[in-house]
Structure formats: C-alpha cells, structure tokens
Structure 1
Amino acid sequence: MNSTTASFLLILATGYAFSLLTSRIPVLRIPTTVSYLLFGILLQTGWIPLSDALRDWINHLAEFGLLFLMYVSGLEIDLTTMLFQRKEQVPPKNASESQRSPIWVGSLLFFSTFLISFLLSNTFVTLFAHSANPYYLCLLFTTTSLGVVLPVLEEMNLVHGSYGQAILTTALLSDFLTMVLLSVFVGHVSGDGPGMTLRTLAILPFTAILYLVLRAIQRFPKVRAWAGDAKARLRAILAILGTTCLLADATGAEPILGSFLIGMLVAALPSREKSRIREYSHGLGYGFLIPLFFLSVGMDFDLRTFQSRDALLWLPLLLVIAVLSKIIPALMLAKKHGQRASLAAGCLLSARLSLIAAAAQLGVSIHLLPEELADGILLVAAITALIAPVAFVTVLKKPTTNMS
C-alpha cells in the first residue's frame, strides 16, 4: 500500500471517529456535515501528512460528492407532497399559508427573501460600501446552501414532511433561481448576448425530453426486464448523471444543475425499485461521497481570511444582513409550525457555502464588489455553514406532529 492510500484510509477512519464524538456533545448536537467540515479545517494543522497527490485525490472525489449530493437533493423532491394531486387537495383561493403546498410556500419565502435582501443590500451600499453593486449583493444574500440544508433535514428525519419540503423547496429555489439570475446579470454586465443565456438553459429541455423518452420506453415489459434490479439501475443512473453533467458544462450551465435535474427525473419516474434505488443512493452518498465533499471544503478554506482587518470590519454588518434576510421571511411558517420551528427554519436557510463564495470572487473580477467586501462575504459563508445547522437543531429541539 502506498503512502497516499494509507493517509486517505487514516483520514476516513479518524474523520468518522471525530464526527461520532462531536455528535455526542450535549446541547449542541453538531450535525455530521459540520463535523466533517471542522475535521477538514483541523487537517490543515498537518497532523496527518497531506501530499499534493492526496489533496488532488480528495478534491476529485469531493467534486463528484457535490454532484452526487445535488442528485440526492433532486431525489428527495417529493412532487406528491409539493403539489396537490387530487381535486379535494386543492386549496381555495383564500387559503392560508398553512393550507398551501410546499412549492407555494417555498416560492413565497424565496421572493420575500429576494425583496428583503434587496432592501438591506441597497441600504448597506448607500450607507457604507459605495463601490459595491447593490443588485449583485442582493443576489448573493438571496442564496442558500442546498448542500448544507438537505443533509441536516435528512439527519433529522424531516425531509419528507410538509415542514422539511417547504425548507427544501425554498433552498432549491434560492440556489438555482439565483444561479440563473447571476448568470443573466453577469452576462448583461459583461456584454454577452441573450444567446449565451439561452444556451445555458439548454439543459432544462434536454432533461424534459429525456424524461418523456424514459417514460415511453418504460411501458415495454422487455425494456423493464432489461433494466435489471436496483443495483443495475443505479449504475445506469450514474451513467446518465455523468452524461448530463458533461452536457451542462459544455453549454455553460452548472453541472450541479444537471445532477439535480437527474435526481428529480429519477424521483418522478414510477418504478418498483425506487425505494431500493433511494436506499442505495443514500448509502453511497451519505456514507462516503458527501462527507468527503464537506471534508474538502474544510481542507480548502483559507484561514488567512480571518486575518484580514477590512474583512473583519465588514463581518458584523454582513452577518446581520445574511441572517435577517432569511429569518424574517421564515416567520411566515409560524402559523402552521410554530414560532420555534419558523425561527429554526430561518437559521438553517441562513447557511451559505460554495455558491456565494464563488459568486463573491467573480464579483471582484468583474468589478462589482471591492476585494475586502468579498473577503467578508467568504467569512460569512464559513461562519453560517458552521453555525446555521447547529442553530437549527438547537432551536428546533424535537420535531412535532404538525411538521408531517
């Protein structure tokens, strides 16, 4: 066994032990995702030798882990819960929020977040950061890390109830609608034509056509028999996922959008093997690939950002905007789920990670953000990714029956 493999296996073993110990801390109840992120930061101390080959190995696996996390996220989108299927389930026009579907609630929370983010960002730019673009800053604060939200909901067994689906839908819209809006806005600022935007969105009709084709061939018994059992179908799903991600990347879209859409496609296709496919996907994802993604995030986080005096000066105001823009809209959940649950939802939705960090750096390169403000936003991403899941489980305490 070479040294790279030995070090990797040691990291797997000690990472599991660390997450097991931190999850047993009284009161805090640190989620698994946060524990692996913290462990990745601890690895920067060098107590386990990290060669360039080992870093590359972990980062490549982590990149696939992020794609697989987005696939699992799409797999958890329960359309029968999010949409009303039967006539008796359709709420009247004057229905309250508690009678509406998660897709309605998620959309309402997203647009409320967008409005509040714009008001806070515009005020911040007017009073303090005159060189920043308020519209771009608004889009940054509208984001939520679906990659943080889903594993926490899954760990708390909330993902399939109306409460979990509302949070999941809000996170989904916040990530992917903001991603599209950022692409359009950056294209407009950079002088790209509308053709580039349409090319970026080509992955959407491709997935729709793929769904119709698979749905059509499912009707033939020989095709269903040829597809094999759940293990064979999972291999086919991975092949389709890889092809779709490559297509998304080639058209200028984000590969994570392609993997998410494949997850939704698998969830929407009727199959007797669906429960086993979900079980195998969860085992591969949450058991191996997804922890490596959070481990890699911790390993790659630049701790020198905390030494930036300008970034630390911006940090309190940026944190206030990041938290308020999520907690205020989430209070709309209080009528059905209670004040504690709505506050907990706002805390979890405050988590940011890779999207806001990448967008902040892009903002500097196209002169929409000053560098010190972008550094402050990176600190916000790191702090909220660590604190938001812990705050969620601490505030929520125990799920109640009205979350189903």
Structure 2
Amino acid sequence: MDHSGSLVLIMGIAVLAPLLAHGVARWLPVPLVIFEILLGILAGPDVLGWARTGEVVDVLSQLGLAMLIFLAGYELEFDRIRGDTLNRSLWAWLISLALGLAIGTLLALGGGFDRGVYLGTALTSTALGTILPVLRDCGDLQSRFGKVTMAMGSVGEFGPIIAMALLLGGRAPARSAVLLVVFAVLTAAAVLWALRPKPPWFSAVIARTLDSSGQFAVRLVVFLIVAMLGLAQVLGLDILLGAFAAGLVTRLVLTGAAPESSAIVLSKVEAMGFGFLVPIFFVVTGIEFDLDALLSGGRVLLLLPVFLLLFLLVRGLPLWLLAPRDLGRTDRSALVLYGSTALPLVVAITTLGVEDGKMQPGEAAALVGAGMLSVLIFPLAALRLRSGAEGRTGTRTKPWAGGDESW
C-alpha cells in the first residue's frame, strides 16, 4: 500500500479505535490508546502488512507527539503543585535516575556507561501524554490524586528529556547545559510576556473571532507551538521540551488575557489534537513496532518482563516512598502504576540508541514492548484500584480546592 493509502488506513483505525473502546467499556474500561497501538501492530508490516510509514505520516506522527506534550504542559498548573508536591516529584525522579543509570549500566553487559544511559534514562520516564486522557475521562484530572499524578508524571516526562539533552545529544555535557540555560532564559522571557497585562483589544479579538473563520486564538496557539518547537530545534534540544514550554506559555496567555474564552479555545485545540494528530502518533507507534525481533526468542523475549518489572522498581518505588502524606495506600498504589506507565519517550530513546549503534534492535523492541505492556496493564489496574476503593467507601475523590495539601 502506498503512503496515501496508509494514511487513509491510519485514520480509519483512528475512527475504529474509540468505537471498540466504547463497546468494551461496558465490561472493562480499557484506555483508548491500547486499541490504537494494537490495531497499528495488526495493520503493520509484521502482521497484515497493510500499512507502512512514510515522510508525510512520520511528520504527522511527530506533530501528534508534540501536541500530546503541549496539552500536558497546558493542563499542568504549577500554582497548584508547587511546594511540597513538586519537591517530592523532583526527588522521586532523581532517585529514579540514579537507580536507572545503575541498573542500565549493569544490563548493558559490557556496553559501558554510554549504552547504560539509554536503558537507564528510558526506565525513568512516565507517559504523561498517555495517562492524561485516562485521568480526564475517568474524572480524576481535577482531584487531589489527579494533580499529584500530573506533578509526578510531568517531572517523569521532562526529566528524561533534560537527561537526554545533557547525556545523549552527542555534545559535551557542559555545552548541553549552556544550551539548556539559554532555552530556559528564552522560555522565561516568553512567560514574562505572557504574564504582562494585554490591551483590551487583545481579548476582544479573541472573543470576536471564536466562531468565525479568523480563529485568532487558535492561530496564536499554533504559532506558539511552532515557535517553541523551532527554538528547541535551533538550540539542538529535544522538540518535546519546546512543546511542553509552549503549553505552559499558552495557558498563561489565555487565562490572563481572555479567561472567559480560554476553555473554548482549549476545546478547539484538543479537537485538533485528540481528533487528528494524537491518534496518528499512537497508531504509527504500533505500525513501527518490531514484532519479529521481539518474537525471535532467547534473551530478547526474556528481557520484556524484566523491563516491565524494572519500570515498577525504578520509577514506581520512589513514587511510593515520596508520595504526599495525605494519599492513602490505595492512591499510592495507583500513583505507582500511573507513574510507571511509559511509552512515548521509550520509543524516542530506543530509536536514538539504535541509530547511534548503542542498542540492538531486539533489545530496543523488548524495551518498547515492555512500555506497550505498561500502557496496556498499569492504567487499567490503577483505574480498577481507584474504582474499587470508591465502591467500598461510596464516594469519589474530592476535587482539589487549591494549595499543596488542601482539598
């Protein structure tokens, strides 16, 4: 099938996936991304051979990943997770990084620290873009538990990005650190601009064009995304860092200049993301999965459950130990499962490792396969844990009213 036919098939899968998720939901609340990835594997070259990637599909897939991270950055409200929760999130990830680098170097089997960095960094990641729709759909996003999960997940998403920029960029760590500082300074300048009071005409134009062909706010959001992505690329940093920064800046701009319109604007951007770009990324992840390498047997197949357990150990254990004190045992267990869910950055890191000759294709397939299993198993287990606790108590988690330890 040619590239245009593959794109049609991918979009057909994107339409079919929510229908399957809706049909199965009466028995089991399976996350939508599971169907998107599995259907991508089924249509991919290792099974039916119907779909293949190409230049256009790859670009759309990268835009889908960037949109996922942008929406995660937009959803994150630092004024609600600062203080103790944010400090705990940072320390939990730093402990994960130390564990991951140590275990990754041991698993490298003579490949040295460089190879261990790829393995170890991948083990510290959290698929925030994957668990974000799950939290939103089950109504947990605005709860205390949801905010803590977002905080832990955000650090777990972008800590590895910074580690990749410092350790895997092919540059001296000192030069990479300088580039990160430059990016941070420019992002801070954008934040300061976003915080400045906007003239009355700015919010008036946003409100007046919400339902017209002008769509000023949506165009502004797209401009901010592209600008931050471009800035990250010019500095030689991962574009996901730019996408997340764009989400933060966009929230500040819209909530400051047009708070009454921000929810409508976000719904339009989400429609573009979750309705078009994001499903392409997840389907393409399934299409590009190296199923043959994984099923070849031997050490590669044995590594899959090992990596799955290591996600829980490296990422989950620090989350359990450093979760805020007001979370009960059930919520801590669910936090561990959500925080140990990993896929997008695992795909990015393993792809880079194979391209640089630091990882074997089979080893990368096992790590990606473990990430896929984490997406298949961990969010569903977390949902069942939380729904079981709510069924026993007869209540749902209360919305977070603000403050770091308040309800």
**Same-fold status (TM-score > 0.5):** yes
Cα distance in 1 for partners of 2:10, 2:365 equals: 29
1:95-134 matches, within 5 Å, as: 100=84, 102-118=85-101, 120-121=103-104, 124-125=106-107, 129-133=109-113, 134=116
Distance in 2 between the 1:213 and 1:275 partners?
21
Closer, same or farther in 2 for the Cα pair 1:339/1:116, shift >3 Å? Answer: farther
Structure 2 residue identity aligned to 1:28: L
Matched with 2:380 is 390
Q: State the AA in 2 paired with 1:76.
A: E
1:70-149 equivalence runs, <5 A: 70-83=69-82, 100=84, 102-118=85-101, 120-121=103-104, 124-125=106-107, 129-133=109-113, 134=116, 136-149=118-131
**Alignment match, 2:305:** 316
Question: What one-letter code is carried by the residue in structure 2 that aligns with 1:301?
Answer: F
Q: Tell me the residue number matched to 1:16.
A: 15
Instruction: Determine which of 340, 348, 356 is the counterpart of 1:358.
Output: 348
Partner of 1:207: 187
Q: Deviations over 1:315-369 (max 9, x none)?
A: 3322221222233223244853322222122112222223223323434565655
Distance in 2, matches of 1:58 and 1:7, equals: 8
User: Which region of structure 1 is more displaced relative to structure 2, 319-328 or 354-363?
Assistant: 354-363
User: Which amino acid is 1:401 matched to?
Assistant: T
Name the residue aligned to 1:195: 175
C-alpha distance in 1, partners of 2:278/2:127?
A: 14
- Structure 1 residues 358, 224: CA separation in 2 closer, same or farther (over 3 Å shift)? closer
Return closer, same or farther for 1:12/1:193 CA change in 2, 3 Å cut-off: closer
Aligned-residue offset at 1:264: 0.7
> Given the alignment of the two structures, is residue 342 of structure 1 paired with residue 332 of structure 2, yes or no?
yes
Give the superposition deviation at 1:72. 0.8
Matches of 1:24 and 1:339 in 2, distance apart?
Answer: 32
The answer as to whether partners of 1:41 and 1:299 remain within 8 angstroms in 2 is yes
Task: Decide whether the 8 Å contact of 2:126 with 2:339 is kept in 1.
Answer: yes
Give the structure 1 partner of residue 246 of structure 2: 262
* Cα distance in 1 between the residues matched to 2:171 and 2:324: 44
Q: Distance in 2 between matches of 1:12 and 1:358?
A: 23
Percent identity of equivalent pairs: 20
Residues 148 and 389 in structure 1, CA contact (< 8 A), matched pair in contact too:
no
Q: Please state how far the C-alpha of 1:294 moved relative to its aligned partner.
A: 0.9
Give the gaps of 5 or more residues in structure 2: 391-395, 401-407
Question: Offset at 1:60?
Answer: 2.6
Residues 270-319 of structure 1 show CA distances to partners (whole Å, capped at 9, x for unaligned) of: 12221212222222222222122211211221211222333113233222
Alpha-carbon distance change, 331 to 73 in structure 1, aligned in 2, over 3 angstroms: same
1:225-304 correspondence to structure 2 within 5 Å: 225-227=204-206, 228-230=208-210, 231-269=215-253, 270=256, 271-272=258-259, 273-304=261-292
SS in 2 for 1:336: coil
Quote the residue 2:369 is aligned against: 379
Q: Post-superposition shift, 1:61?
A: 2.2
The aligned amino acid for 1:225 is A
| CA pair 10-349 structure 1, distance change in 2 beyond 3 A | same
* Matches for 1:36-55 after TM superposition, within 5 Å: 36-44=36-44, 49-50=50-51, 55=54
Distance 1:299 1:264 in 2: 31
Corresponding residue of 2:160: 178
Cα deviation, residue 109, structure 1 = 2.8
Taking a change above 3 Å as real, the CA distance of residues 257 and 387 of structure 1, as seen in their structure-2 partners, is same
The answer to whether the 8 A contact 1:184-1:197 is kept is: yes
1:241 and 1:262 in contact (8 A); partners too: yes
Q: C-alpha separation between the residues in 1 aligned to 2:226 and 2:90?
A: 29
Which string of whole-angstrom CA distances, capped at 9 and with x for unpartnered residues, describes residues 175-206 of structure 1? 2122212222235xx56362344224433222
The one-letter code of the counterpart of 1:73 is A
2: CA distance between counterparts of 1:367 and 1:56?
23
Contact 1:76 1:159 in 2 (8 A): no
What is the TM-score of this pair, normalised by structure 2? Answer: 0.81
Distance 1:139 1:71 in 2: 21
Task: After superposition, give the CA deviation of every residue in 1:212-260 in whole Å (9 maximum; x if it has no partner).
Answer: 23433x4322344345544321111101211221121121011221121
Task: Find the aligned partners of 1:72 and 1:241 in 2 and give their Cα distance.
Answer: 10
SS in 1 for 2:342: coil
1:152 to 118, 131, 134: 134
Q: Whole-Å Cα distance in 1 between the matches of residues 270 and 139 of structure 2?
A: 13
Between the aligned partners of 2:10 and 2:309, the Cα distance in structure 1 is 36
Q: CA deviation at 1:263?
A: 0.9
1:135–1:251 Cα change, 3 Å? closer
Task: Assess if the C-alpha contact under 8 Å between 2:14 and 2:36 holds in 1.
Answer: yes
SS of the equivalent of 1:337 reads coil
Alpha carbon RMSD of aligned pairs, Å? 3.1
Q: Does 1:166 align with 2:148?
A: yes
**Residues of 2 paired with 1:185 and 1:14: CA distance?**
37
Q: What residue is the counterpart of 1:401 in the other structure?
A: 397
Look up the SS of the partner of 2:326 in the other structure: helix
